[in-house]
Amino acid sequence: MATTHPDRPPAPPPTVCPARPKCLPSAGPPALLVVDDAAPVRAFLRAALAPLGFAVLEAADGHTALALYRRHRAAVRLVLLDVRLPGLDGPGTLAALRALDPQVRCCFFSGVVYGDEEPALLRLGALRVFRKPTPVAEFLRAVCELARPPAPP
97, 104 contact by CB (below 8 A): yes
Considering the domain delimited by 31-146, tell me its CATH architecture: 3-Layer(aba) Sandwich (3.40)
List the chain domain ranges: 31-146
57-104 tens-digit pLDDT: 999 999 999 999 999 999 999 999 999 999 999 999 999 999 999 999
Is the omega angle on the peptide bond into residue 133 within 30 degrees of 0, that is, cis?
yes
108-129 tens-digit pLDDT: 988 877 778 899 999 999 999 9
SS3 74: coil
28-65 tens-digit pLDDT: 569 999 999 999 999 999 999 999 999 999 999 999 99
- Rounded to an integer, what distance in angstroms lies between the CA atom of residue 51 and that of residue 126? 25
- Rounded to an integer, what distance in angstroms lies between the CA atom of residue 65 and that of residue 71? 10
pLDDT of residue 67: 97
pTM summary value: 0.80
pLDDT of residue 28: 55
Percent of the chain with pLDDT over 90: 68
Name every residue whose Cβ is closer than 8 Å to that of residue 136 and which is 6 or more positions away in sequence. 48
State the pairing for strand pair 106-110/128-131.
Answer: parallel
